[in-house]
Amino acid sequence: MVIYGEKKTFDKKRIIGGTIAVIVIIAALWIRGFGVDTPSGERIQETRYFMDTVVTMQVLAENPEEKADKAFAAMQELADKADRFNPDSEVSRINQNAGQGPVEIDEEVFAIIEKGKRLGEETGGLFTIAIAPLMDLWGFGKGMQPSVPEEEEIKRILPLTALEGITIYPEENAVEIARGMEIDLGGIAKGAVVDHGMEILLSLGVEAAFINAGGDIRVHGVKEDGTPWRIGIRDPRREDRGHLTEHVVEADSGSVVTSGNYERYFTEDGERYHHILDPRTGYPAWGLQSVSVTGESCVTADVLSTAAFMMGDQALDFLENYPGYEGLIVDENGEILTTSNF
């Protein structure tokens, strides 16, 4: 039997105690994500199809399924109300009453229209929520057969896309459009619906979430390991639909939206025509392949990416000077341009 001296026993205890302390410190660091305040709960991912696109949501929270369900329901409801192809939507009521005075509408859809008009004016009318007649003329409306319209027809339709024909009555949540005009929130609704979904999640106490509606992405918080969300940007030059590996966005708050000419297009007489129509000319915008915009609000990023796409070589200057938002542009030669803080 070995008998320890008093001093030896004391040292042994101190060393074992020290070891335990080291383990506790390491465990604490591990649990706390090395100093980053990590959210608690379980992370789930759910994907659904609405707004004619695939919407994916990741929610990190207690009872994440229930919270995701609520957010999805609210998003779908707003999307339905803002869809001009839904005959019962708020937008359809405005369109059906074109030229017949103001129409009082739902508060949330009113907010989208008001924002769409204001942002459209900030872009000098390059983004317009009154684009529907031109989209339909080209056959880019839902279920239509696209074709190149006659020049005369384009000239006739263009005045109907001007924002001046839309009158907003904020006190009544009412909107009035001129005869022949039609509102189409296709260029703004996805971003607005994503913002709405995130607002719902945050109101339910969700600490971290990721929403992706067909490439319109908004994130909040950090993942369970304390790392930010990682978002790639589609490289329009790659046929495999891959991303720009040297430009991955890492964020714990904000949005990323991309507008590109590679998704919706048709070919006629050997010429390719895409769906981002320039209201100045009535023809597809040219000069760029894609514009990605980052910033807090998804709806603003959505509008800015569309408007900047029409600006060609002016797009970079526009985004550089737009407060709170940054941009990445792939021009027609495949050159990548970024604003200074992208």
Partner 1 sequence: MKSLLERWKDIRTGDKVIVGLVLILALAGVLYPLLWEWLGGDPGDLQVVINPVGAERQKISLGDIPEEGKGLIVPGPIGDHLVLIYPEGVRVIAPEDDPLKICEKTGWIRRPGATIVCVPNQLAIWLEGRDETGLDGISE
CA 310, CA 234: separation in Å to the nearest integer? 19
DSSP 283: S
Cβ proximity to partner 1: between 49 and 107 the closer is 49
Burial letters for 166-204: b for 16+ Cβ neighbours within 10 Å, e otherwise? beeeeeebbbbbeeebbbbbbbbbbbbbbbbbbebbeeb
The two tokens of residue 204 are 């339910």
Distances in Å between the Cα of 282 and the Cα atoms of 15, 170, 230, 278, 296 are 79, 30, 37, 5, 31
Q: By CB under 8 A, name the one of 23, 104, 167, 313 that touches partner 1.
A: 23
Q: By CB under 8 A, name the one of 70, 106, 266, 283 that touches partner 1.
A: 266
Residue-level length of the chain: 342
Whose tokens are 């074992």? That residue is 16
Asked if 56 interacts with partner 1 (CB under 8 A), we say yes
Cβ proximity to partner 1: between 173 and 294 the closer is 294
CA 227, CA 250: separation in Å to the nearest integer? 9
Cβ proximity to partner 1: between 14 and 118 the closer is 14
Q: How many CB atoms lie within 10 A of CB 27?
A: 10
Cβ proximity to partner 1: between 30 and 153 the closer is 30
Cβ proximity to partner 1: between 52 and 104 the closer is 52
Asked if 83 interacts with partner 1 (CB under 8 A), we say no
Cβ proximity to partner 1: between 146 and 312 the closer is 146
Per-residue binding letters, 172-211, with partner 1 (x by CB under 8 A): --------------------------------------x-
- CA 251, 276, 245, 341 dihedral sign is negative
Q: By CB under 8 A, name the one of 231, 276, 288, 310 that touches partner 1.
A: 231
Per CB under 8 A, the segment of 90-98, 154-162, 214-222, 277-285 that binds partner 1 is 214-222
Asked if 19 interacts with partner 1 (CB under 8 A), we say yes
DSSP 35: T
Asked if 53 interacts with partner 1 (CB under 8 A), we say yes
CA 103, CA 181: separation in Å to the nearest integer? 14
Contacts by 37-41, CB closer than 8 A, 24 or more apart? 37/222, 37/226, 38/222, 38/223, 38/224, 38/225, 38/226, 39/207, 39/208, 39/221, 39/222, 39/224, 40/207, 41/207
Q: Nearest approach, Cβ of 185 to partner 1 (angstroms)?
A: 16
Asked if 264 interacts with partner 1 (CB under 8 A), we say yes
Bridge partner residues of 59 (DSSP)? 44, 209
Cβ proximity to partner 1: between 169 and 266 the closer is 266
Cβ proximity to partner 1: between 125 and 226 the closer is 226
Q: Nearest approach, Cβ of 321 to partner 1 (angstroms)?
A: 22
Q: Give me Rg for the CA atoms of the chain.
A: 26
- Residues in 134-153 that interact with partner 1 by CB under 8 A: 139, 142-146
Q: Nearest approach, Cβ of 269 to partner 1 (angstroms)?
A: 17
Q: What is the largest CA-CA distance in the chain?
A: 108
User: Where along the sequence are the contacts to partner 1 (CB under 8 A)?
Assistant: 2, 8, 11-12, 14-16, 19, 22-23, 26-27, 29-30, 45, 47, 49, 52-54, 56, 58, 139, 142-146, 210, 212, 214-217, 219, 225, 229-234, 239-243, 248-249, 256-258, 260, 263-266, 292
